[in-house]
Amino acid sequence: MTQHKFKLKREDTVQIIAGKDKGKRGKILKILRDKDRVVVEGANIVKKAMKRKSQQDRGGIVELEAPIHISNVMIVCKKCGPTRIGYKLEGDAKVRVCKKCGEAL
Protein backbone atom coordinates (compact mmCIF):
# COMPACT_ATOMS: atom_id res chain seq x y z
CA MET A 1 0.00 0.00 0.00
CA THR A 2 1.43 3.39 -0.97
CA GLN A 3 1.50 6.29 1.44
CA HIS A 4 -0.04 9.52 0.20
CA LYS A 5 1.18 13.07 0.74
CA PHE A 6 -1.32 15.40 2.37
CA LYS A 7 -1.53 19.18 2.40
CA LEU A 8 -2.71 19.04 6.02
CA LYS A 9 -0.25 18.85 8.92
CA ARG A 10 -0.40 18.13 12.64
CA GLU A 11 -1.74 21.02 14.78
CA ASP A 12 -3.73 22.45 11.81
CA THR A 13 -7.23 23.63 12.75
CA VAL A 14 -9.76 21.80 10.60
CA GLN A 15 -13.54 21.68 10.24
CA ILE A 16 -15.45 18.46 9.64
CA ILE A 17 -17.55 18.77 6.47
CA ALA A 18 -19.33 15.38 6.48
CA GLY A 19 -20.55 12.76 8.94
CA LYS A 20 -22.06 12.80 12.43
CA ASP A 21 -19.78 15.63 13.66
CA LYS A 22 -20.35 17.92 10.65
CA GLY A 23 -19.47 21.53 11.49
CA LYS A 24 -17.20 20.74 14.45
CA ARG A 25 -13.73 22.27 14.55
CA GLY A 26 -10.58 20.95 16.18
CA LYS A 27 -6.84 20.45 15.85
CA ILE A 28 -5.30 17.48 14.05
CA LEU A 29 -3.70 15.19 16.65
CA LYS A 30 -2.42 12.45 14.35
CA ILE A 31 -2.22 11.67 10.62
CA LEU A 32 -2.52 8.04 9.50
CA ARG A 33 -1.00 8.22 6.01
CA ASP A 34 -1.38 4.52 5.16
CA LYS A 35 -5.17 4.67 5.74
CA ASP A 36 -5.77 8.27 4.47
CA ARG A 37 -7.22 9.29 7.84
CA VAL A 38 -6.72 11.96 10.51
CA VAL A 39 -7.56 12.06 14.23
CA VAL A 40 -9.23 15.37 15.16
CA GLU A 41 -9.33 16.64 18.75
CA GLY A 42 -12.83 16.37 20.27
CA ALA A 43 -14.45 14.89 17.14
CA ASN A 44 -15.71 11.42 16.19
CA ILE A 45 -15.76 10.29 19.84
CA VAL A 46 -16.31 6.54 20.29
CA LYS A 47 -16.57 4.36 23.38
CA LYS A 48 -14.04 1.56 23.60
CA ALA A 49 -13.66 -1.23 26.13
CA MET A 50 -10.10 -1.12 27.48
CA LYS A 51 -8.37 -3.92 29.36
CA ARG A 52 -6.45 -3.16 32.56
CA LYS A 53 -2.73 -3.13 31.66
CA SER A 54 -1.20 -2.60 35.11
CA GLN A 55 -2.23 -2.33 38.75
CA GLN A 56 -2.62 1.48 38.64
CA ASP A 57 -4.15 1.62 35.14
CA ARG A 58 -7.95 1.42 35.21
CA GLY A 59 -9.79 -0.60 32.59
CA GLY A 60 -13.42 -0.19 31.58
CA ILE A 61 -15.17 1.85 28.92
CA VAL A 62 -13.11 4.79 27.64
CA GLU A 63 -14.15 7.58 25.26
CA LEU A 64 -11.56 8.43 22.62
CA GLU A 65 -11.24 10.07 19.21
CA ALA A 66 -11.52 7.73 16.23
CA PRO A 67 -9.89 8.53 12.85
CA ILE A 68 -11.88 10.36 10.14
CA HIS A 69 -11.20 10.10 6.41
CA ILE A 70 -9.11 13.05 5.22
CA SER A 71 -11.68 13.92 2.53
CA ASN A 72 -14.19 14.76 5.28
CA VAL A 73 -12.11 17.56 6.82
CA MET A 74 -11.17 21.03 5.53
CA ILE A 75 -8.52 23.42 6.83
CA VAL A 76 -9.86 26.62 8.43
CA CYS A 77 -8.52 30.01 7.30
CA LYS A 78 -8.57 32.76 9.96
CA LYS A 79 -10.23 35.18 7.52
CA CYS A 80 -12.67 33.14 5.46
CA GLY A 81 -13.35 29.83 7.27
CA PRO A 82 -13.11 26.35 5.68
CA THR A 83 -11.06 26.44 2.48
CA ARG A 84 -8.77 24.46 0.21
CA ILE A 85 -5.00 24.78 0.22
CA GLY A 86 -2.79 26.07 -2.56
CA TYR A 87 0.96 26.66 -2.71
CA LYS A 88 2.96 29.79 -3.48
CA LEU A 89 6.73 30.24 -3.78
CA GLU A 90 8.02 33.09 -1.60
CA GLY A 91 11.70 33.41 -2.37
CA ASP A 92 12.94 29.83 -2.14
CA ALA A 93 10.30 28.71 0.41
CA LYS A 94 7.10 26.91 -0.55
CA VAL A 95 4.20 28.36 1.48
CA ARG A 96 0.67 26.98 1.92
CA VAL A 97 -1.96 29.59 1.05
CA CYS A 98 -5.75 29.89 1.29
CA LYS A 99 -7.46 29.36 -2.10
CA LYS A 100 -10.17 31.95 -1.26
CA CYS A 101 -8.19 34.96 0.02
CA GLY A 102 -4.56 34.03 -0.76
CA GLU A 103 -3.37 34.50 2.83
CA ALA A 104 -0.60 32.20 4.16
CA LEU A 105 -1.85 29.36 6.36
pLDDT tens for each residue of 72-84: 999 999 988 999 9
Model confidence at 99: pLDDT above 80: yes
| Mean pLDDT for the stretch of residues 32-57 | 90
Class of the 13-77 domain? Answer: mainly beta
- 55: DSSP letter: S
Instruction: Report pLDDT for 58.
Output: 79
**Alpha-carbon distance 94 to 58, whole Å?**
46
Kindly state the average pLDDT of the residues 28-53.
92
Residue 70 and residue 8 in contact, taking contact as beta carbons nearer than 8 Å: yes
**What DSSP designation does 104 have?**
B
8 pLDDT above the threshold of 70: yes
DSSP assignment letter at 102:
-
Q: How far apart are CA 52 and CA 43, in angstroms?
A: 25
Give the pLDDT confidence score for residue 1 in this predicted structure.
63
Mean pLDDT along residues 28-47: 93
What's the mean pLDDT when you consider all of the chain? 90
**Model-level pTM?**
0.82
Mean pLDDT of 42-62: 88
